[in-house]
Structure 1
Amino acid sequence: MQPDRERAASEFRRMMGWIALAGALMVIASLCYLSLYGPLRLHMVVAAIAGIFVSVLLGCGLFAAAFFSDKSGHDREVTDATRREPRD
């Protein structure tokens, strides 16, 4: 069971790396788009970076955590632990 957890943890780290890259690319694209309509001010840039990057990381990261929980066997352990044994 341990190799499954190690493999799932490795996949989770790789997935979070791709999610962070996607978030960074979305921030760059949004700043390019915003620059088309006027000058970029410091507060606007900081707010865009924080809002877009954190939103992407949080939303996708929670999905990645759910997939990690299933692949690593944590969900099965909880299901087995809460299952009641029939009494004779």
Structure 2
Amino acid sequence: MVSKSPLDDPEAAAFAWARFRRIMRFMFLLTVGIVAIAMALLWKFEEVSVHFYIATALGIGFTMLLASALMGLMFLSSGTGHDDAVDNKLPDNSVDED
């Protein structure tokens, strides 16, 4: 029998998703700050084309936001008890060796 996930409760799910959105807002602001610092450092020390600035900003921004979204979803799943509700019993496929 599969146990119910705590995220099935609308109140618990609303709280968990609100916390996830709060984490993502913070990480977005942090990402914008880091990209701004990187752009300032590039402008000060390097003489490169505008395409390099665009690629650097997109690369840093996408990497940080993707990593924070995946980590946030992991914390959401673990923090609400959703991971414990998953039935992860696999049949025993061990082979007896003689």
- TM-score relative to the length of structure 2: 0.73
Shift of 1:83: 4.9
Residue of 71, 76, 82 corresponding to 2:79: 71
Instruction: From the two aligned structures, give the one with the greater helix fraction.
Output: 1
Residue of 35, 45, 51 corresponding to 2:43: 35
Runs of 4+ that moved beyond 2 A: 38-41, 81-84
Paired residues of 1:12 and 1:65 also in contact (CA < 8 A) = yes
Shift of 1:47: 0.6
Paired position in structure 2 for 1:82: 88
Gap runs ≥5 in structure 1: none
- TM-score relative to the length of structure 1: 0.80
Identity %: 26
2:52 is aligned with 1:25:
no
**Larger gyration radius, structure 1 or structure 2:** 2
Gap runs ≥5 in structure 2: 1-5, 91-98
Quickly say closer, same or farther: Cα 1:57–1:63, change in 2 above 3 A: same
Q: Could you tell me how far apart the structure 2 residues matched to 1:83 and 1:50 are? A: 42
How many residues were matched structurally? 82
